A and B are shown apart, each in its own frame.
Chain A
């Protein structure tokens, strides 16, 4: 499902002394099945934008169209919007509350009237999709699980709503390296299998470079860059000025460039960085 955002503007505390322009004329378009990452410093407007996309906030002006439906139109039913656009908040494990994993995941679909075998099947599929062992966890209390497992249960709860667009706000924050890898793998799997359109909000430039087809950069409420990871991360200077950074491989290449002029710094992975260094050295020897 596609997303079209046109001239979106939103102000917090309008008319009050602490009035803040959170979004200013933001426009972009995502194709069905595209994987986009949104980066930006704290307060750049990323989270406000995400809340607009699933109808938690309404813009002052501008328009959001999801598939065929204009979700900023006052006559659009918000329940429909929220079913189409699944939002995984930061630290979603804090929102787990049921006695068992299966009940927790079933909560959302039950609210929209799903019952019986269909419900059971959706719950099982969603839990399996997150890489958890369904038989092993279904009857357990979500609170007994590890941090990474809890987060996967919370994501399963959103997947069970069968959204067509999935928004993940900092899904790996606070996870240990192994749980971090598991969650990245799970996101990649969802994208591949379910062909969902995905929007990933992240401070981890390495993750962004690894997963996204497209990077949107927010700064002070404006969308300031919109391109492939290679395009965006080739602009180290402005990104640093915005308080952002580069993926570790790109950053290293940027530092290396001072001593090896002409080396191609546009390397997003460790493997590609190593290849480029080898290529450069071989060229020198000839």
Chain B
């Protein structure tokens, strides 16, 4: 089966034009190749400036490759004819909800995408209601977005993406600006979308969030340095250090317990597993 996302040898250069001297360029993504099968939940980690967001913007044609190709369900993002299909296949949710909300009423904002696709009004109504219910914001549908909290606004932005009926949603640090409760709610929604069969690409700086994915891609200097299940990655201290990331708290605690002499198995990774392992020592 054709993977939903196929990226082949993708290179992207930002060109910088300066008043004095010739234009210079900066290679933000450097020869990246990977595929994502439909329905997968992929987390992307990496330092600021490692190329994660630039890569993400290629997945629905917001940026086009300097070299290489990106195919979404077999459609090349370079081909103008496909661009609307591609954008309704892959939705995007960014870090700052304030930059993604365009209307002064919640439900109008969610309807914005499908309206622009020329979807039938009855169908739009249905989709908007469904999308708002999916993120738990149906009750707030007639409110003004600016009166909502950051977490609620982010859920509206996600509803806007869901209303497009995408097969894949790319989340670019969706929880970075949220309080703890807002973060939990957004992660819950991401899990539910994944369970409903939507392919999820989650860019994040939170190790705990990355742990929840099926697969982890780590980027450094525009390249993919690791591509494996998060369990394997976080079991390898050297890999974590090389990528300049850190251990999720549970793994840091496991390591500390081992260091202090408790015989905890080094394969323990989740909170439940660690609680179980500790209780067995009683």
A residues in contact (CB < 8 Å) with B: 18, 40-43, 90, 146-148, 170, 173-181, 203, 205-206, 243-245, 248-249, 252, 255-256, 259-260, 270-271, 273-275, 277-278, 281, 284
A216 to chain B minimum Cβ distance, whole angstroms, is 15
Give the residues in chain A near B274, CB-CB below 8 Å. Answer: 252
* Minimum CB–CB distance for A168 against chain B, Å: 15
Cross-chain pair count, CB within 8 angstroms? 111
Which 6 A-B residue pairings sit nearest by Cβ, starting from the closest?
A: A243-B181, A147-B48, A248-B249, A245-B180, A274-B256, A42-B149
Q: In the complex, what residue of chain B is closest to A273 when comparing beta carbons?
A: B253
- State whether A281 and B244 are in contact (beta carbons under 8 Å apart), knowing that A175-B48, A179-B48, A271-B256 are contacts in the complex: no
Closest to A150 in B: B48
Q: Contact at A42–B257, with CB atoms within 8 Å?
A: no
The contact string, 1 if C-beta is below 8 Å from chain A, for chain B 248-282, is 01101100110111100000000100110011011
Instruction: Establish whether residues B181 and A175, one from each chain, have CB atoms under 8 Å apart when the complex forms.
Output: no
Q: Does B262 lie within 8 Å of A278, measured CB to CB?
A: yes
Q: Which of B253, B260, B262 contacts A249 (CB under 8 A)?
A: B253
The answer to whether B253 touches A274, judged by C-beta atoms less than 8 angstroms apart, is yes
Residues in B neighbouring A179, C-beta threshold 8 A = 47-48
Cβ of B147 under 8 Å from chain A: yes
Q: Is B222 interfacial (CB 8 A cutoff)?
A: no
Say whether, besides A41-B181, A42-B182, A179-B47, A277 and B278 are in contact (CB < 8 Å). yes
A249 touches B249 (CB 8 A): yes
Nearest-neighbour CB distance to chain B for A144, whole angstroms, equals 9
Q: Which residues of A contact B259 (CB under 8 A)?
A: 274
CB pair B46 A278 closer than 8 Å: no
Nearest neighbor of B248 in chain A, beta-carbon distance:
A248
**Contact yes or no, B207 A177, CB < 8 A:** yes
User: A177, B246: Cβ atoms under 8 Å?
Assistant: yes
Q: Is the CB of A278 within 8 A of B261?
A: yes
Contacting pair B278 A175 (CB below 8 A): no
Cross-chain contact B256 with A270 (CB below 8 angstroms): yes
Q: Verify A281–B253 contact, CB threshold 8 A.
A: no
Q: List 22 A-B contacts (CB under 8 A).
A: A41-B149, A42-B178, A146-B49, A170-B177, A173-B176, A174-B95, A175-B205, A176-B47, A176-B50, A177-B245, A179-B47, A244-B179, A244-B181, A249-B249, A252-B249, A252-B250, A260-B278, A260-B282, A274-B262, A275-B260, A281-B281, A284-B282
Interface positions of B (Cβ within 8 A of A): 46-50, 95, 147, 149-151, 173, 176-183, 205, 207, 244-246, 249-250, 252-253, 256-257, 259-262, 271, 274-275, 278-279, 281-282
Among the listed B150, B205, B207, B281, which residue makes an inter-chain contact with A42, where contact means beta carbons less than 8 Å apart? B150
Find out whether the CB atom of A180 lies under 8 angstroms from the CB atom of B252: no
Neighbouring A residues of B150 by C-beta, 8 Å = 42
Instruction: Report A278 CB to chain B, min CB distance, Å.
Output: 5
**In the bound complex, do residue A176 and residue B151 qualify as a contact, i.e. CB atoms below 8 Å apart?**
no
A203 contacts across to B, CB distance below 8 A: 178-180, 183
Residue from A18, A174, A273, A274 with most neighbouring chain B CB atoms (10 Å): A274
A residues in contact with B261, CB < 8 Å: 278
Q: Which residues of A contact B275 (CB under 8 A)?
A: 255-256, 259
Kindly report which residue of chain B lies nearest to residue A269, judged by CB atoms.
B256
Query: In the complex, given contacts A203-B183, A273-B253, what are 14 additional A-B residue pairs having Cβ atoms less than 8 angstroms apart?
Result: A18-B147, A40-B179, A42-B151, A173-B177, A174-B177, A175-B205, A176-B205, A178-B47, A244-B180, A248-B249, A273-B256, A274-B257, A278-B260, A284-B282
Complex Cα distance A158/B253, Å?
Answer: 36
Scoring B207, B245, B253 by chain A CB atoms within 10 A of each residue's CB, the highest score goes to B253
Closest chain B residue, CB of each to CB of A243: B181
Cα A181 to Cα B48 with chains together (Å)? 13
Taking the closest CB of chain B, its distance from the CB of A235, in whole angstroms, is 15
**Which A residues touch B176, using CB under 8 A?**
173-174
CA distance A42 to B176 in the complex (A): 13
Which of A40, A205, A206, A278 is packed against the most chain B CB atoms within 10 Å? A278
Output the least CB separation between A173 and chain B (Å): 6
Measured between beta carbons, the chain A residues less than 8 angstroms from B149 are 41-43
Given the complex, which residues of A lie within 8 Å of B282, measured CB to CB?
A: 260, 281, 284
Question: A40 — which chain B residues lie within 8 A by C-beta?
Answer: 179
Q: How far is the CA of A246 from the CA of B182 in the complex (A)?
A: 14
Which residues of the partner chain A approach B256 to less than 8 Å between Cβ atoms? 270-271, 273-274
> In the assembled complex, which residues on chain B have CB atoms less than 8 Å from the CB atom of A274?
253, 256-257, 259-260, 262
Bound Cα distance from A215 to B19, whole angstroms: 50
Q: A residues within 8 A CB of B147?
A: 18
> Taking A18-B147, A203-B180 as contacts, is the C-beta distance between A146 and B244 under 8 angstroms?
no
In contact, B271 and A252 (Cβ under 8 angstroms):
yes
Contact A174 B249 (CB under 8 A): no
A170, A203, A256, A281: which has the most chain B beta carbons within 10 Å?
A: A203
Residues of chain B with a CB closer than 8 A to A243's CB: 179-182
> Would you give the shortest CB distance from B100 to chain A, in whole angstroms?
16
